[in-house]
Structure 1
Amino acid sequence: MAEGPNFQQRFLLSGHRQAVSSLKFSPDGSLLASAGADKLIKLWDGLTGEFRQTLQGHTEGISDIAWASDGEYLASASDDKTIKIWSMEERAEVKTLIGHTNFVFCVNYNQNSNLLVSGGFDETVRIWDIARGKPLKVLPAHSDPVTAVAFSHDGTLVVSCAMDGLMQALFSVINVFLSRIWDAESGQCLKTLVDDDNPICSHVKFSPNSVFVLASTQDSTIRLWNYQSSKCVKTYTGHSNRTYCIPACFVTSKGKYVVSGSEDNKIYIWDLQSRKIMQVLEGHRDVVLALATHPSRAIIASAGMEKDLTIRLWFDE
């Protein structure tokens, strides 16, 4: 019988002046990027947590950041209604994408790094041609702020979720919905995942093989959906999530786990298959809003809100 995870805090990083909203490891794991309400992006060494650089240019707080698959660019989504593209070679802003009419809340690259998908408080999902700096598609996706967007691994699908409960689904049937699957090229809605309990959906992401969608909802539940069959195949509970958009992540470098922050200031780790809580990490002094997992090592990065402001690196090695 395999032993469970034993993550221990190894590094404590500080530097943000307001709540940290997003953490993302670069694709090769060499850098960790953090962003927050202080309008700043900070770059840290992905293994030691050593501070590298601050990127500034947004005029309002940043809600989300995303790496291009080659690690050469970083995108940031801000309350200033823009998305900025940052070059890691120049360590500077190289492009600003303008089009959203309200706060931009979420952003992600496709695998080829030529497209971006974003969502925001204008209730739209936008797919951007990065080279031209223009939106290819504007999807009137939801009837409330869009809280998460992501491409499937091959870039053919986009998943989005929002705070809305009732929504026009396919065939003009009103469904209580969790999240939607879109064809990235045509912009057509292919699937609406239905959940009868009508929870607000905080975050969605495809599994590494893009067969499943992991959805975090504000009924303190994380659901694993097989989106092709529209069936929820696993649920993970025990954490607290009623108010904030808290992302869940997969850990696949050493065992297979699901990990999430929580409003009780802790981090919860579940066994992917058995759904058992394997470990609870304590140390933060406020809601753990931001979370990221290293692409190749058993490392979790986490960050707390205003009463904490620290970023912690946890190692299972």
Structure 2
Amino acid sequence: MDVDAPPPSLPETPTGPQYKLRYSLSGHTMSISSLKFSPDGSKLASSGADKIIKLWDTYSGHVLRTLVGHTEGISDIAWSNDGEFLASASDDKTIRIWDMSVGTEVKTLLGHTNFVFCVCYNPTSNLLVSGGFDETVRVWDVARAKSLKVLPAHSDPVTSVSFNHDGTLIASCAMDGLIRIWDAESGQCLKTLVDDDNPICSHVRFSPNSKYVLASTQDSTIRLWNYQTSRCVKTYTGHTNRTYCIFACFKGKYVISGSEDNKVYIWDLQTRKVIQVLEGHRDVVLAVAAHPTKEMIASASMEKDLSIRLWSNES
């Protein structure tokens, strides 16, 4: 035997996540607009153009309850930090706060003069920020159901709002292509981020450490901005996004987004490479969400499909 012969090669271990379909859930009758895991990950909330919110058990896939009350379609939902309340933003121009222990509406926030498109709680959940087709960003005192601030934020409908991890900053983006960073307390605009081509910006969120913002634009690109220096530091491409406001999110060292080619894309945050594409939906994937602790993601699709898919990482 040749002692210098190389050892037999071992099969290559796949790098990156290996998400596989765990459940496919159905219950909505019109396009699903938003998905959010509860802070402890035990529940998944979904909203849609059918005016309802559904609450699912993450681990069994069973529907727990259906929340009814909005008179027009719902575009976005957000959990309070303790998981006790859910806020919903609707085309009926209201934001409604639901008590999740009993499934009833406890407050209605009135003030937007057009469709409310996006909503987000601050970390202590005493404030909400919302944005809408009236081109404003509004900050609400949740307990008093009162608008504290109306920011004349953009010159087009506001598509997304996000608080940073300590609640001191708000990010907003709009169809005018601008991303703005606001001081949450004073309401002052601290930064405006704009790309040369100025595509419609459809979703924005702070990175977990709040040093960056992740912005999805309708030129089929997701950009990671260092907002302190106003520089785009990474771009993620491969998916299709030219028409709809599609969510993107962080999951550990990955970036996840829906796509208009009916797929879910997963990128390596650092290398910007597409490392997995999830197939199975039969229509545009608008909503994605990442489980707070477990290796799970959820995705949901529009009219021709109407399924919510829960994927778990087998790697």
Instruction: For residue 90 of structure 1, report the CA deviation from its aligned partner.
Output: 1.9
The alignment yields a C-alpha RMSD, in angstroms, of: 0.9
Residue of structure 1 in register with 2:273 after alignment = 276
**Distance (whole Å) between structure 1 residues aligned to residue 157 and residue 208 of structure 2:** 26
Residue of structure 2 in register with 1:173 after alignment = none
Residue of structure 2 in register with 1:235 after alignment = 235
TM-score by length of 1: 0.94
Q: Deviations over 1:232-263 (max 9, x none)?
A: 110000000000000111011xxx10010000
**Distance (whole Å) between structure 2 residues aligned to residue 34 and residue 194 of structure 1:** 31
What one-letter code is carried by the residue in structure 2 that aligns with 1:277? Answer: V
Q: Deviations over 1:239-294 (max 9, x none)?
A: 00000000111011xxx100100000001000000000000000000000111110
Query: Which of 45, 62, 66 is the equivalent residue of 1:54?
Result: 66
User: SS in structure 2 opposite 1:213?
Assistant: strand
Residue of structure 2 in register with 1:198 after alignment = 198
**Distance (whole Å) between structure 2 residues aligned to residue 66 and residue 46 of structure 1:** 16
Residue of structure 2 in register with 1:33 after alignment = 45
Query: Which of 225, 241, 263 is the equivalent residue of 2:260?
Result: 263
Larger radius of gyration: 2
User: SS in structure 1 opposite 2:282?
Assistant: coil
Residue of structure 1 in register with 2:104 after alignment = 92
Residue of structure 2 in register with 1:189 after alignment = 189
Instruction: For residue 91 of structure 1, report the CA deviation from its aligned partner.
Output: 1.3
Distance change (3 Å), C-alpha of 1:12 and 1:133: same
What one-letter code is carried by the residue in structure 1 that aligns with 2:272? Answer: R
Query: Which of 109, 113, 117 is the equivalent residue of 1:105?
Result: 117
Instruction: For residue 119 of structure 1, report the CA deviation from its aligned partner.
Output: 0.2
Number of paired residues?
302
Residue of structure 2 in register with 1:172 after alignment = none
Residue of structure 1 in register with 2:7 after alignment = none
User: SS in structure 2 opposite 1:69?
Assistant: coil
Instruction: For residue 2 of structure 1, report the CA deviation from its aligned partner.
Output: 8.0
Residue of structure 2 in register with 1:298 after alignment = 295
Query: Which of 14, 20, 41 is the equivalent residue of 1:8?
Result: 20
User: SS in structure 2 opposite 1:153?
Assistant: coil
Q: Deviations over 1:46-71 (max 9, x none)?
A: 22221111000000000000000110
Distance change (3 Å), C-alpha of 1:227 and 1:189: same
**Distance (whole Å) between structure 2 residues aligned to residue 239 and residue 194 of structure 1:** 21
- 1:160-239 to 2 correspondences below 5 Å: 160-165=172-177, 178-239=178-239
In structure 2, the gaps of 5 or more residues are 1-12
Runs ≥4 in structure 1, deviation > 6 angstroms? Answer: none
TM-score by length of 2: 0.95
- 1:55-70 to 2 correspondences below 5 Å: 55-70=67-82
Percent identity of paired positions between Structure 1 and Structure 2: 76
User: SS in structure 1 opposite 2:140?
Assistant: strand
Instruction: For residue 3 of structure 1, report the CA deviation from its aligned partner.
Output: 2.1
